A and B are shown apart, each in its own frame.
Chain A
């Protein structure tokens, strides 16, 4: 009796789910696999909003294919493989998406690409998965990302420091895929170029004091501390406690440390020896387009991964348009619309792109977060600059090679 009740409830739930909205012939669905719940929940809403903005641009400027609408299906990948594979399976099989943007976390990308999207032949573009492991996926050319692997930035930063005459540093990294990924590639490149690491240690986030870790690092005798952490989180504590105790003279951070909150909290006057590396968009006109539209939508333009989320969705739409909605041609089309040569397309210029594609002309999308010239593994090289603190913000002082 009870069993039957349960079966009936489950059946009803399934049944209700099956009564999905009917799709029109030319409508195309795009899966957005944001990490809405879970450890990076705070980052997810602006990322989803940025991807949706791209979808809005497509639909406002003539729609996709022959008068169809691009529809975004939002799923919660929760930053873990269990939920990510589940949400990818639903997107691919129930909503019949032909491309997905996301998931946000690298582990979720690896699992859902391996078990769902690659076997199903669905294009995946992640806006925030930075693990070097994603490069190694056997992906049938179906997995891409719109931000560089952690490898690029760590290596570029190591070369820049060497070029600036710094050859002995201590490294403190946050023990997650971001911090550790950067630290490992930095270490490899720095040591290969003859640099010395006087200290190298990871730390867990959210502790009240890091003085003992910092004291150990300082004992190595380096003047420079390289911090791979977030400037709005633990990185701020590390920097503050190093300054208070005079452990180091110079501090270098990666993009996560480039926070204006940090400058406000510590004060520019105390940050003369603080430098950060951060990605810079070459096509700044594209970034302006995006910022204007994103601000008009009532969102914060400084949100992390917002530009890459927009670009991922916009690129997916361009690839679908170029491929004429044919799933099998998506990867090839994505490479065609993203790579030079071709007429440059900036963020938000859907109508122009659609017209050029219809005329059979080659286009090259210059995104808000970078040019997105994919290499053979579907990765993008980074454009990084070296910044110093200036006023309440940051000022670029050199390009990084």
Chain B
């Protein structure tokens, strides 16, 4: 029977506390959870079969729920759904091989939590506002000599140039919002990751890793940002285990 790995934990001298916590928890398909320790690092696992593992929302939520519960008590590195190994021995060997990397990653996320921030906009309204504030609507686009000024090709270029300038303006605006977010978070020593312009309406998708006790301060900062940009919708989620801040390639 294979083993499903949920997370790698930094347990130090609290292995008894972990074991008693695991007694009251269940993994995928109601399987019992148990720990496999190597020095200060422990893998939380349950027995499963590759054939019996179905990727559906119930199992995904159960998997995330185990990680979530453990993250409230211990520093951990969440594993990807479907992380299976063939035996206890294989997991212990994997932990031994990767011990320094795992330890280093655990130190980086110790007492830290992940938060997500998405910024949405009404795409048409934002473009219209930016257009109004800029000179794009009125600015001469490209120069025309008298003999070509009525050219259909020239009109096409003018239209495209207007669209291009609007896109540039939009990007500049998004960059200014990212800069404002970064400034608000600078005093919290947060590790930040940003993605811009995911869709027409999702202009920013940000992730922050910061100390557990910074949650209230972060919410206040997002509130201030919302006041600063009333035309945008800021949505903050969390706290999450550090899903997006673990950089390790298991050997």
- A complexed with B: no
